[in-house]
Amino acid sequence: MKPRIAVALLAFIAGPAAAVTTATMERPLCDPCVPAPLKKSVSASPQGADLRAQVEAKLRAPFDAAAPGGSMTRDQARAAGLGFIDRNFDAIDVAGRGAISFADYKRFLKARGAALD
């Protein structure tokens, strides 16, 4: 048997397993869902108290916009498009005053597991 035929026959008998070579990674794995310019380093991401403060600020901004006097009625919540507050208004207004403060809203969220200060 000629050497070339022997090698071909051996490759055919051994199948694809004989053709597998060790792969090397040329670059580190990355998250394909996030474009590189949008990625932030983990150290730059807010954590702990800073993160909770950012969350509270995002909750407070629409509340304050809808309730410039510091308290909000159900009608103000509805007019501002704050559906969550509108739907849960009676549960937030535990005192039954017909108006809620941001502290009432925050207390309601914390009672349901929100991590706020």
- Domain 45-111 sits in CATH 3.40.50: no
The per-residue pLDDT for 114 is 80
Tell me if 64 sits within 8 A of 102, measured CB to CB.
Answer: yes
pLDDT in tens, the chain (117 residues): 566 676 666 666 666 655 556 666 666 666 667 766 666 654 466 678 888 888 889 999 999 999 989 999 999 999 999 999 999 999 999 999 999 999 999 999 999 888 777
Which tokens belong to 78? 């509805």
CA angle 83, 45, 105 (to 5 degrees): 25
Tell me if 92 sits within 8 A of 61, measured CB to CB.
Answer: no
d(CA 28, CA 111): 43
